[in-house]
Amino acid sequence: MGEETVRREPLRTEPAAAYRSTFAPSAPEPVLGEPLPAGWEGICFPFDAAFADLRPDGSPGADGTVPDPGLPRRMYAGEDTRFLRPLRYGDTVEQRTTPGAVTRKRGRAGELVFADIERAYLVDGAVAVTSTWHDVFLPASDPAAAPADVPAGEAERWDWSRRATLDSRQLFRYSALTFNTHRVHYDRAWAQDVEGLPDLLVHGPLMRVLLLDFVTRSLPGRTIREFSMRSVSPAFVDRPVTLVGREDADGVRVRVLDAAHRPLARGLARTQAPSGRRPDLADTP
């Protein structure tokens, strides 16, 4: 089992400005002393695994956080985050990373191993953000196998929607910003010939932060207090997707849908209204 690792970094404006110019041009410009948008903390704490510790697919391997499960493929499965207080540009932030639960299951393709990574972000000893990152390890794929036939989804009512198509330039920039060396995001031959994917894969963590940005943009003035996201199906480069959302009794539901209304990612946010305003159904009690 791995041990806790600790990193300390100043929250610089430059990585956030690079993310904003590529993915969120309508977000406020990063300014020292101003709050970091929800979910952007990962951009300021990129992966730091040594090259010698990378697995053949480019994902972290012997980094001391997740034990090697003996399976060749590693994918992001989702994340659960609590935003307790703002992180501000210029803060010196301590990131504490510890291994979480490891669960073995058997699916249609064989054995699966789900492994969690727990992260906490502290300023002056006080916890500001906590996050549980979920990864899944899978057996080798058969590139010659026919893709599963997934029926089209049904159109639903949504309060907001935004279309997006991510191209290879944006995937490269996100990989560079987060120091993500997983080859499925930039090495087309690896993605197709080894992983059996039809094309380059859009980063799961990128889909998460795009959904968080979508909530912030759709509900101006709200503060996101909790966000849970699960990857459902792969999203691929150059294929249009639609971000959709609505409020209900449980919170703010968001999805990433493909052209056939099939969900690629699901998210649920709990928000807090501006001070002085009556809380509504989506507000954290």
What is the reported pLDDT for 36? 97
Question: Per the domain annotation, does 278 fall within a domain?
Answer: no
- 254-266 pLDDT tens trace: 999 999 999 999 9
What is the reported pLDDT for 278? 40
Kindly state the average pLDDT of the residues 49-65. Answer: 87
- 230-249 pLDDT tens trace: 999 999 999 999 999 999 99
User: What are the start-end ranges of the E strands in 139-209?
Assistant: 160-164
Domain that holds residue 67: 5-272
Verdict on whether the full-model pTM lies above 0.85: yes
pLDDT at 17 exceeding the cut of 80: yes
At 114, give phi and psi (nearest 5°): -100, 125
Question: Per the domain annotation, does 195 fall within a domain?
Answer: yes
- Cα separation, 24 vs 30, in Å, equals 12
- Cα separation, 192 vs 183, in Å, equals 11
CATH number at residue 267: 3.10.129.10
Question: Per the domain annotation, does 143 fall within a domain?
Answer: yes
> Which is nearest to 39 in space by CA: 192, 168, 227?
227
Asked if residue 206 lies in contact with residue 265, where contact means CB atoms within 8 angstroms, the answer is: no
Kindly state the average pLDDT of the residues 249-253. Answer: 95
pLDDT at 276 exceeding the cut of 60: no
Domains in the chain, number: 1
Question: Per the domain annotation, does 281 fall within a domain?
Answer: no
Question: Per the domain annotation, does 277 fall within a domain?
Answer: no
Q: How confident is the model at residue 284 (pLDDT cuts 50, 70, 90)?
A: very low
Half-sphere exposure of 117 (CA within 13 A, CB side): 22
- Cα separation, 71 vs 140, in Å, equals 7
The identity of residue 223, as a single letter, is: T
CA torsion 191-196-201-203 (nearest 10°) is -100
- 112-145 pLDDT tens trace: 999 999 999 999 999 999 999 999 999 998 776 6
Question: Per the domain annotation, does 234 fall within a domain?
Answer: yes
> Which is nearest to 212 in space by CA: 56, 70, 23?
23
Kindly state the average pLDDT of the residues 205-213. Answer: 98
- Cα separation, 42 vs 124, in Å, equals 19
Q: How confident is the model at residue 65 (pLDDT cuts 50, 70, 90)?
A: confident
Kindly state the average pLDDT of the residues 198-224. Answer: 97
At 223, give phi and psi (nearest 5°): -110, 125
Structure token pair of residue 142? 């058969």
Q: Please report, rounded to a whole number, the percentage of residues in the chain having pLDDT higher than 90.
A: 81
Look-up of token digits 């906490």? 120
- Cα separation, 40 vs 93, in Å, equals 13
- Cα separation, 13 vs 30, in Å, equals 5
What is the reported pLDDT for 14? 97
Angle at 36 between CA 6 and CA 239, to 5 degrees: 100
Three-class SS string for 26-57?
CCCCCCCCCECCCCCHHHHCCCCCCHHHECCC
Question: Per the domain annotation, does 193 fall within a domain?
Answer: yes
